[in-house]
Amino acid sequence: MSDWAPKTAKAKEWFESLRDQICAAFESIERDNGSDASFEYTPWQREEEGNDDPGGGTQGLMKGKIFEKVGVNVSTVRGNFPKEFAGNINGADPENPGFTATGISLVAHMHNPHVPAVHMNCRFLTTGKAWFGGGADLNPPLPYEEDTDEFHASMRAACMAHNPTYYEKYKKWADEYFYLPHREVHRGVGGIFYDHLECDDDPSWDRNFAFTQDVGKAFLDIYPKLVRKRMASDFTEEDVAQQLEYRGLYAEFNLVYDRGTIFGLKTGGNIDAILMSLPPRATWS
C-alpha cells in the first residue's frame, strides 16, 4: 500500500484544486445575485486508536441566496477498517484491513425549486488493491428534460474521451444505484456512477486518474450553467412543497443506502461532514 503513497498525494492535491475551483464558481453565482455568502471551511482530524497518522479533512459549507445549503468536502484518511466491515470493501478483508482514501464529495440544495439539486464525488482508495470511483448525478425537484439532456451530454463527453463503453455502463450503474427500492422510485434523473476502477500499474493509474479528472471538470462546466439558467425562475408554494417532499426521498437514500455515508460512519469520519448531504428542510407526507 505504501507504493501508492505518491499517487494518493497527487490525487489529494487535485481534489483540493477541484474543490477550490467549484467553490469559486458557486461564490461567483452568489456575488452576481447581490449576496456576499462565502464558504466556511472547518478542518477536522480523524481518530483511530493506535494510529499516529489517521488523517482528516476539511468541510466546506455555504448558505446563501441561491444555494440554500451546499457542502464541498475533501478528506484524506488512512488506517484499518473494523474487521466486521473490511470484508465489504474491495481488496480488504479481516486479515488485511488497512486502507487509504482521498476524495472530494459535494451536495448542493437550492432555494429555488426550479434549480436542480446535485451530487458529485471522486475518490481514490487503496486496500489490497487500488482504485478510483466517483460520478455525478442531477436531482431536480421539478425536472426539465432540457436540463437532464445537457447534464447527461456533459457526462457522456467526459466518458467518451476515454472509453466508448463507459457512458452507457456508468449511466446504467447510476440508474441502478440511485434508486430507493422501498419507494420504487429513482432519487433523481441520473448521471454516471463508477467504482472499483482498478489500477494495476502506473499506466492504468494515469488513465483512471485522467478519467476521474475529466468527470470533475465536466461537472464544473455544466452545473453552474444549469444554476444560472433556472435561478431567476418564478415559483409557487406548490413548487416548494414538491421540492421539500423530494428532499425527503433524497434524505432517505443517503441515510439508508449511500455507500459514502456508510463508509464515513464505519471509518470514524467527521459526522457533520458525512451528514452535510442532508437537506436543510424536508417533508414527508
Residue 174 is part of which domain span? 2-277
Residue 234: CA count within 13 A, CB half-sphere: 1
pLDDT in tens, the chain (285 residues): 448 999 999 999 999 999 999 999 999 999 999 999 999 999 999 988 888 889 999 999 999 999 999 999 999 999 887 777 767 777 777 777 889 999 999 999 999 999 999 999 999 999 989 999 999 999 999 999 999 999 999 999 999 999 999 999 999 999 999 999 999 999 999 999 999 999 999 999 999 999 999 999 999 999 999 999 999 999 999 999 999 999 999 999 999 999 889 888 877 778 888 898 999 999 997
The C-alpha atoms of residue 141 and residue 238 are separated, in whole angstroms, by 11
**65: in domain:** yes
Please count the CA atoms within 13 angstroms of the CA of 26 that sit on its side-chain side. 32
Structural contact between residues 93 and 87, judged by C-beta atoms closer than 8 angstroms: yes
For residue 282, tell me if it sits in a domain.
no
CB under 8 Å to 57, separation ≥6 — which residues?
43, 44, 46, 73, 74, 75, 76, 77, 269, 270, 273
List the 98-110 sheet strands across, edge first.
40-45, 55-62, 67-80, 98-110, 117-126, 130-139, 190-198
- Confirm whether 285 is domain-assigned: no
* Any domain includes 242: yes
102: which DSSP letter?
A: E
Q: Which residues contact 224 (CB under 8 A, 6 or more apart)?
A: 25, 26, 28, 29
Domain-embedded: residue 140: yes
**Which CATH number is 49's domain given?**
3.40.1500.10
Residue 249 lies in a domain: yes
Look up the pTM and report it: 0.93
Query: Which positions are annotated as active-site residues?
Result: 119
Residue 283 lies in a domain: no
Number of domains, the chain: 1
- Report yes or no on 104 lying in a domain: yes
